[in-house]
Copies of this chain bind each other. A is one copy, B any other.
Amino acid sequence: MADSKKNVLIIGGGAVGAIAALNLEAGGLAKVTIVLRSNYNVVKEQGYHIESCDHGVLKGWRPSIVRNTVPNITEEGLQPYDYVILVTKNIPDVSPTALDLASPALPKNSRLTTLILYQNGLNIEKPFVRAHPDVPVLSGISMIGSDEPSPGHIMHGEGEKLKVGAFPASNINPAVPERRAQEFVEIYGKSGKADVTYSPNVLYDRWRKLVFNACLNPICAITGLDTGRIRLADGTIEGLVRPAMKEVVAAAKACAGVELGDEIVQTMIDADPLESYLKPSMQQDLEKGNFIEFENLVGEPLREGKDAGVPMPTLEVVYQLAKAIQWRIKEKRGLVDIPKKRSADAS
């Protein structure tokens, strides 16, 4: 029985990764190793305290193996994992990148391990496909309402929807990642708690989510208005959010032949309930002084759209502002040196 379980490595065990670990082990078809950073000590000593709408309340729960480093399978002499799921933030403009982080856990010249990228945005698979051409890479798009108000304490308030499919960029026979995606859907769905489906069109799902993530997400971060307030502020939706979203819809069509339809814009504007005042991820990150995921969420769709000849004047400015804000965070975190201030007297 134990032998038939799939070995799954989850890198990142915050609000999303913890629920993925819990759901996979609840299904009984996977043995999960989880890699933690900021909440490692708490979870190692006391386990997670999870309050989940799907799984109930669990105190002191731990995945099979809890680690604070990404396993180096070669150095540690480990068997390749069946699945490696990357659930960390993806900040390609700051080291270590997602690729740096996950690489030690991936086998060389082998298709034994399937990599699943849970992160948002466009072209996130490209660095992996280049560096690990034999590793099948899947796209996981998770829609989940889950928070970690304090380390190891997971509040999972809203049901999980997961779409898994093969990234088309892989240079492996497409049938391989497609089969792996279908297998993973089975493993993940076994618990009966999560709404997990196979996605035959990963690019559609990603561009669809970008209508929110390339527009409302950075605009909320830049203005400091959550998704409830931004709809109350006079003129911001019509003057800013809707034009940006229309640019992304046009880019999706021109770049990937993805027809999102006109109604997607209003759907994404109304994605969060008006009176819930939710902060999108970049706004939360900015308030915490964290780096923002603007390159994959804004930069890549912008570059793709412009390459395809789509005018994207709104997204261009949003991108440039996000980039300048990221530079500010880099300076605050000591990644950028600036010349010393010259006093007026000394000049």
Contact = CB atoms under 8 A, between A and B. Distances in A.
B229 A328 contact: yes
B328 A275 contact: no
Contacts of A274: 339
Q: Which of A158, A223, A225, A341 has the most B CB atoms < 10 Å from its CB?
A: A223
8 closest A-B pairs by beta carbon, nearest first, are A313-B313, A317-B317, A233-B327, A223-B324, A240-B320, A275-B342, A239-B320, A236-B324
A89 to B, nearest CB: 21
A321 interface: yes
A340 interface: yes
Interface of A: 157-158, 219, 222-225, 228-230, 232-236, 239-240, 273-277, 313-314, 316-318, 320-321, 323-325, 327-328, 331, 336, 338-342, 344, 347
Nearest to A340: B275
B276 A325 contact: no
Contact of A234 (B229, B316, B327): B327
A157 B236 CA distance: 40
A342 B273 CA distance: 9
B232 A338 contact: yes
A229 B169 CA distance: 39
Contacts of A324: 219, 223, 225, 230, 233, 236, 240
Given A224-B325, A225-B328, A234-B323, 8 more contacts: A157-B344, A223-B328, A224-B328, A225-B327, A228-B338, A229-B327, A239-B323, A313-B316
A323 to B, nearest CB: 6
Contacts of A317: 240, 313-314, 317-318
Contacts of A239: 316, 320, 323
A39 to B, nearest CB: 23
9 contacts: A219-B324, A225-B324, A228-B338, A233-B327, A234-B327, A236-B327, A240-B320, A276-B341, A317-B318
B273 A323 contact: no
A286 to B, nearest CB: 10
Contact of A344 (B222, B276, B327): B276
Contacts of A314: 313, 316-317
